[in-house]
Amino acid sequence: MRRALTAAVVLSLAWTRAFAQDSETDTEHNIEEPKEAVPPAALAPPVTVPATGATAVPGAKPKMGDVSIRGYFRGGFGASNQKGRMTCFALANPSGLVSKYRLGNECEVWSETHFTVVTYAGDDGVVADLHFMPTVYIPTTNIGYSPNGTVNSPSIFTTSTGATVSFPNLYVDIKGIYWLAGGTPWIGTRYYKRESVYISDFFYWNPSGVGGGVEDINLGGDLRLSYAVFAVDGEPAPPSTSTSPLLPSQIDFGFRNDVQLRGIRLYEGGELQLGAQYIADFSNHPDPNTGVSVTHGGYGFTVRWVHKLLGGDNRLVAQYGKGGGTGFGTLARFYYPDFSLYHAPIEARVRFVEVLTIQPTPAIGAQLAGVYQRDINFLGAEGQTTTWYSAGARVAYGVTEHFKVLAEVGYDRVTKSIGSDPQQLTKFTIAPTIAGGKGLMERPELRLFYTLARWNAAARGATVDSGLIYTATTLTQGSIFGLQAETWF
């Protein structure tokens, strides 16, 4: 009993400290899997608090009640050259993605604190963990800078304007069961094996959700097989006075099966990774006029090649999806994938992603990225296509051990086959930075930034900035400036 009370007190103190540190949308965000967003050398190991309050011994056997903590924070403030507070520039992609390059272009406070609590530690080495990650999102474009840090309110779009506390990681797993060949069974809701372009916060491979499965079964050598099944809810119901926030229809449901095989090494320093998803529609939602179901399943495939290079790596990705399987990832604020049972069976998506992250010298680091995405029979309209092109780069130059200069440029373009003008947006940011180290991914960073953006009339008409400061004008360029902090641990 005393042990359990001590663990509860420690967890409470850890929670308080995590949010008292002052707690937009994103970054490393993959708290449980930071290796995909940040090179391992840039991350400190998780802090472990023994249940008994004694000093932890490195490599010691886990005990029930032990708590380890990882986390991420980003936030700051800024202003527009049109006066008024900071707004953020993004190109609205008709496929549901909103693309932006992040440096000096994030209008919110975002905090993630991932707690891992040992709930069982067997004599045979089997360990069960409870994972819990409260996430705070405060969109400063709308809410302003709340002196009391308000994140939830019953008065939506007045006091809180959409600020939230959410729990994207809340699940249990069990490690060390010998007959699972290194595999880890789990059930709950979680960020699951997400892959992203860090500089644009684009989670192009993101099978996260509510589900369960067994991950990383060792097939020999580096080969690891993972299988999981997730719930798919369909889409939120149309707006109504009785439903806030919007909720999905009770009669819409699907099973999303996800299979991944990683660790296919054809040579030293190169790895092939394969993924497949199949969505089975299990809804009872016929059209009242025709009797034909309005929901559909689908399938999709992902192939990713990772090659170590110049102190980092190059990642080349190809994806194809059909029907409900056209969803692979998202830039949405809650970082959950863009799966829907309302995609027509004739819809298809082809996507290629290229991400090069390098650190050739201690003082020079960079990430370069490109995306090509083509949506065929868009929104179920036969013959209609939408194409999204995106390219950008961030460069970091370490002037001294704790000072570096960051520069980022990004370009997005969307074209449609229906004859409308292409939308395009270009942004450039310069940011002198006080940091924990010289490297591109060394954190913390305290930035002073200036961002300049240019766009065309078609992009402006589709909403080019989050605060609508420029969207409501005839301007085709604007700038923002301010301060921002980012860290992870």
The secondary structure element, H or E, covering residue 14 is: helix 2-20
Closest CA to 103 of 448, 356, 359: 448
Alpha-carbon distance of 450 to 429, in angstroms, equals 6
Closest CA to 451 of 419, 487, 483: 483
At residue 480, what are phi and psi to the nearest 5 degrees?
-135, 160
Buried-exposed string 240-264: b where 16+ CB fall within 10 A, e elsewhere: eeeeeeeeebeebbbebbbebbbbe
**Spatial contact of 426 and 411, defined as CB atoms under 8 Å apart:** yes
**Spatial contact of 342 and 369, defined as CB atoms under 8 Å apart:** no
Alpha-carbon distance of 115 to 132, in angstroms, equals 5
Contacts of 417 (CB under 8 A, 6+ apart): 383, 384, 385, 386
**Spatial contact of 182 and 217, defined as CB atoms under 8 Å apart:** yes
At residue 212, what are phi and psi to the nearest 5 degrees?
-170, 160
**CATH superfamily of this structure's domain 2-236+252-488:** Porin, LamB type (2.40.170.10)
pTM of the predicted model as reported, rounded to 2 decimal places: 0.86
Closest CA to 18 of 170, 165, 210: 165
Alpha-carbon distance of 262 to 272, in angstroms, equals 7
pLDDT tens by residue, the chain, 489 residues: 444 444 443 444 343 333 333 333 333 345 544 344 333 333 334 445 555 444 445 567 899 999 999 999 999 999 999 999 999 999 876 666 667 899 999 999 999 999 999 999 999 999 999 999 999 988 888 888 877 777 766 555 555 556 788 898 999 999 999 999 999 999 999 999 999 999 999 999 999 989 999 999 999 999 999 999 999 887 765 444 444 446 678 899 999 999 999 999 999 999 999 999 999 999 999 988 998 999 999 999 999 999 999 999 999 999 999 999 998 876 443 445 578 898 899 999 999 999 999 999 999 999 999 999 999 998 888 889 999 999 999 999 999 999 999 999 999 999 998 888 999 999 999 999 999 999 999 999 999 999 999 999 999 988 899 888 998 889 999 999 999 999 999
Alpha-carbon distance of 263 to 273, in angstroms, equals 7
